[in-house]
């Protein structure tokens, strides 16, 4: 294969794609955005790096719009596997797909005969296409999943919740290994067990394992500084390796037992502990026998909270999908070492015309893009290209992965159980969505909105006497709170008088809507997209611009907000509502402030009032949490951190030599220069930092 050495310009996401040639260059066409929730995980980056990019060609052309774009590209496409992206006129990615033959797949789009309205809309909006030719279809499948998660195209099946899973970590870089909850990259040496469906499940399991195996949960620094056993030793939750209450060999044996239990050899471990308890009892050592009894009880507690524990399935993930009311629910169960480590429900965004098997197939590729894959994947529905998916997962895992839809036996029972959970989870979600839709419709009627709101932003401030001031924004819509779009604003302006809530709100509004205008333009200044038409609430099409902003405050706060909106020229583009606490700050007596209306209240038992109170309380919670986090960080900040050139090493050396940062601030240049790693120039810089008159 030949390798292209030239790299044509690539239209940025959300930017105008005006260049004649557009192409995809791995890891080079993503914008840096500190607030982005869609940046690729390190595991996903490693996955891209694992693909052999030699010989991959990139080509594409930016033409007019619709079918003529695709027809013009067909003649130039190779009959080889690859990935294609369809772009609209603004350069946003509409759809990412993979094909065994790019030429045949694109030809199908160019013919103009579409099976669904969704594909027809997608083609009509297409103003450009980009292509990556890969060596194999497996590589194309892996790349497609990665690009979908990066760009979140409107016409693809999308995962809504892609948080990493928690694991149990038994450390391997310390003579006395500890047991910890771990989430994220596996950078620390040790043994990882999981995944668990939730952090709560990990916490409960670790608590039980502490009682069963008496392993430490303290940090290494605390371990090294202990001079006597801590409270956990006193309540028989730790064996006390920090102060030598247990020998290193005895502790290592406890660690081995814990590893064996978590690796699936639970029966052997229980039998071993039971035998030790019997021996202690026969020797009339009842105190030691009681310890073994408590350990056995703790192990039984772990297993009793794991629900179904299959006999013939050692390691598997079980997926079941249920469709109802135009929505999808994928329930995932995790089985490791013959034990059930919990389940989680996902609600992927997908066109209602797609079959369950199509949604599940697209979901699986994205699900394992940045997660470890077990040896067995059980499905409720057979998916298209199931063999290709198994090959791709095997390639990524470096071992054989089997993907199957069982028809009988214990595996089928596991799938049926997952399906039942999927039905129930989707039923609960549909009930919540229906209630939410009624509340949003009621909000439109009560506040005289032009249409039912699809995006509500709520703002609040938090500070203590003006210190560590933080502004907070939470977002809600048809699906409830959208926590991935929450934002906090550290108040930066030095012109604001400490405690000036109006000034803080002005800064928050200025920063929020200035950025919104820069990134998305002012509503009405460009033709409306398909997402902006009609009153139907589409949870998957939450707009960038809010329909309503709720401000936690009264007339004063609202005057600040109106001034900023008028200054930015968007006063008529956003409906702003102030929510002031009622008399004696009593819930239920809130006053509402809007342009063109006198302040008013809602009936005390009005469901809409409860809904707005819930929105306000969530904003308040988020603002206070952000403020506390900032205050905590401020409290532990060391003055040495403010000095350029003082990193962790020099900081440690200075503190070891002088004891405290205050002592460092009082030291002379000559004394500072004595410290290891501190040159005379650095000593002078440190001295000058603490002495404004220093030369």
pLDDT in tens, 302-330: 655 555 566 677 789 999 999 988 889 99
Cβ atoms of residues 504 and 469 within 8 Å: yes
User: In angstroms, rounded to a whole number, what is the distance separating the alpha carbons of residues 468 and 280?
Assistant: 59
Residue 482 and residue 419 share a domain: no
Residue 323 and residue 232 share a domain: no
The pLDDT assigned to 659 comes to: 80
Residue 241 and residue 116 share a domain: no
Residue 401 and residue 362 share a domain: yes
Residue 224 counted as domain residue: yes
Cβ atoms of residues 121 and 65 within 8 Å: no
Residue 273 counted as domain residue: yes
Residue ending a domain, choose from 244, 279, 304: 304
Q: Taking the alpha carbons of 412, 414, 417, 421 in that order, is the dihedral positive or negative?
A: negative
The pLDDT assigned to 629 comes to: 82
Residue ending a domain, choose from 304, 325, 354: 304
Helix, strand, coil: what percent of the chain each, to 5? 45, 20, 40
Residue 584 and residue 508 share a domain: yes
Residue 596 counted as domain residue: yes
Residue 435 counted as domain residue: no
The pLDDT assigned to 16 comes to: 34
Residue 278 counted as domain residue: yes
DSSP β-ladder status, 316-324 and 376-379: parallel
Residue 281 and residue 328 share a domain: no
Q: Detail the DSSP E strand segments found in 143-216.
A: 166-171, 179-183, 190-193
The pLDDT assigned to 654 comes to: 87
Give 10-residue mean pLDDT values along the chain (695 residues): 32 35 34 37 47 44 64 82 88 90 86 75 86 89 88 86 81 90 85 82 82 87 86 88 90 88 71 78 79 74 57 85 90 83 87 88 87 89 90 88 91 92 89 86 91 92 79 90 89 77 89 90 62 40 86 88 91 90 69 89 87 91 86 70 80 83 86 88 87 56
Residue 195: cis peptide before it, omega within 30 degrees of 0: yes
Residue 228 and residue 82 share a domain: no
Category of 656 on φ-ψ map: left (φ > 0), alpha (ψ -120 to 50) or beta: alpha
- CATH value at residue 654: 1.10.150.20
Cβ atoms of residues 190 and 169 within 8 Å: yes
The pLDDT assigned to 381 comes to: 92
- CATH value at residue 75: 3.40.1440.10
- CATH value at residue 605: 3.30.420.340
Residue ending a domain, choose from 588, 607, 634: 634
**What's the pTM?**
0.66
Residue 321 counted as domain residue: yes
Range 514-518 contact pairs with CB under 8 angstroms and sequence separation of 24 or more: 514/568, 516/544, 516/545, 517/568, 517/570
Residue 591 and residue 469 share a domain: yes
User: In angstroms, rounded to a whole number, what is the distance separating the alpha carbons of residues 481 and 585?
Assistant: 25
User: In angstroms, rounded to a whole number, what is the distance separating the alpha carbons of residues 569 and 564?
Assistant: 9
End-to-end CA gap in the chain: 64
Report which DSSP code applies to 516. Answer: H
Task: Specify the residue for token string 């609960």.
Answer: 428
Residue 67 and residue 91 share a domain: yes
The pLDDT assigned to 20 comes to: 31
Residue 335 and residue 223 share a domain: no
Q: Tell me which residue range forms the domain holding 60.
A: 42-151
Residue 282 and residue 226 share a domain: yes
Residue 289 and residue 234 share a domain: yes
> Per the structure, how many domains does the chain have?
5
Residue 3 counted as domain residue: no
Residue 8 counted as domain residue: no
């Amino acid at each position: 294969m030949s390798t292209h050495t030239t790299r044509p310009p690539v239209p940025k996401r959300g930017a105008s794609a005006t260049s004649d040639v557009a192409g995809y260059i791995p890891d080079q066409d993503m914008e840096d955005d500190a607030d982005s929730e869609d940046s690729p995980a390190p595991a996903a980056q490693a996955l891209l790096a694992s693909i052999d990019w030699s010989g991959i060609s990139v080509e594409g052309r930016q033409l007019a719009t619709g079918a003529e774009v695709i027809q013009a590209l067909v003649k130039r496409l190779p009959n080889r596997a690859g990935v294609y992206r369809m772009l609209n006129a603004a350069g946003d990615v509409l759809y990412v797909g993979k094909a065994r033959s790019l030429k045949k797949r694109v030809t199908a789009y160019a013919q103009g005969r579409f099976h669904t309205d969704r594909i027809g809309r997608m083609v009509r909006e297409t103003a450009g296409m980009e292509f990556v030719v890969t060596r194999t279809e497996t590589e194309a499948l892996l790349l497609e999943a990665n690009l979908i998660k990066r760009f979140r195209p409107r016409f693809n099946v999308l995962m809504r919740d892609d948080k990493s899973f928690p694991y149990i970590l038994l450390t391997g870089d310390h003579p006395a290994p500890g047991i910890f909850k771990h989430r994220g990259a596996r950078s620390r040496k040790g043994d990882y067990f999981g995944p668990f469906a939730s952090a709560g499940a990990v916490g409960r399991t670790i608590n039980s394992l502490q009682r069963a195996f008496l392993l430490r949960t303290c940090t290494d620094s605390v371990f090294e500084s202990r001079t006597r056993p801590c409270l956990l030793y006193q309540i028989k939750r730790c064996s006390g390796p920090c102060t030598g209450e247990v020998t290193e060999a005895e502790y290592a044996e406890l660690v081995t037992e814990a590893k064996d239990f978590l690796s699936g050899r639970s029966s052997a471990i229980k039998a071993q502990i039971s035998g030790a308890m019997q021996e202690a009892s026969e020797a009339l050592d009842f105190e030691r026998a009681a310890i073994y009894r408590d350990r056995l009880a703790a192990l039984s507690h772990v297993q009793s909270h794991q629900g179904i524990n299959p006999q013939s399935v050692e390691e598997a993930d079980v997926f079941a999908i249920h469709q109802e009311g135009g929505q999808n629910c994928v329930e995932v169960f995790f089985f490791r070492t013959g034990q059930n480590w919990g389940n989680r429900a996902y609600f992927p965004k997908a066109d209602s015309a797609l079959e369950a098997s199509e949604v599940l197939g697209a979901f699986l590729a994205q699900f394992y893009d940045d997660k470890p894959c077990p040896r067995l994947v059980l499905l409720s529905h057979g998916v298209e290209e199931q063999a290709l998916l198994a090959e791709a997962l095997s390639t990524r895992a470096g071992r054989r992965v089997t993907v199957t839809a069982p028809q009988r036996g214990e595996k089928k029972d596991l799938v049926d159980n997952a399906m039942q959970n999927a039905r129930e989870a989707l039923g609960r979600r549909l009930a919540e969505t229906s209630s939410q839709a009624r509340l949003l419709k009621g909000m439109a009627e009560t506040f005289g909105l032009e249409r039912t709101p699809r995006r509500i932003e709520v703002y609040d401030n938090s500070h203590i006497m003006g210190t560590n001031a933080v502004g907070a924004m939470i977002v809600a819509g048809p699906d409830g709170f959208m926590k991935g779009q929450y934002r906090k604003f550290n108040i930066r302006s030095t012109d604001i008088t400490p405690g000036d809530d109006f000034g803080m709100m002005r800064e928050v509004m200025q920063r929020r809507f200035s950025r919104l205008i820069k990134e998305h333009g002012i509503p009405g200044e460009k033709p409306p997209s398909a997402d902006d038409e009609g009153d139907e609430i589409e949870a998957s099409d939450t707009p960038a611009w809010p329909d309503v902003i709720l401000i936690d405050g009264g007339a004063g706060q609202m005057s600040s907000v109106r001034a900023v909106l008028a200054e930015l020229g968007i006063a008529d583009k956003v409906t702003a509502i102030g929510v002031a606490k009622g008399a004696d700050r009593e819930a239920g007596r809130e006053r509402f402030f809007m342009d063109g209306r006198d302040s008013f209240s809602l009936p005390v038992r009005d469901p809409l009032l409860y809904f707005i109170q819930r929105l306000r309380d969530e904003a308040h919670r988020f603002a206070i949490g952000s403020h506390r986090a900032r205050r905590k960080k401020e409290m532990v900040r060391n003055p040495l951190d403010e000095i350029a050139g003082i990193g962790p090493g020099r900081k440690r050396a200075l503190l070891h030599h002088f004891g405290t940062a205050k002592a460092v601030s009082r030291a002379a240049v000559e004394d500072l220069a004595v410290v290891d790693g501190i040159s005379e120039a650095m000593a002078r810089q440190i001295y000058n930092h603490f002495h404004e008159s220093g030369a």
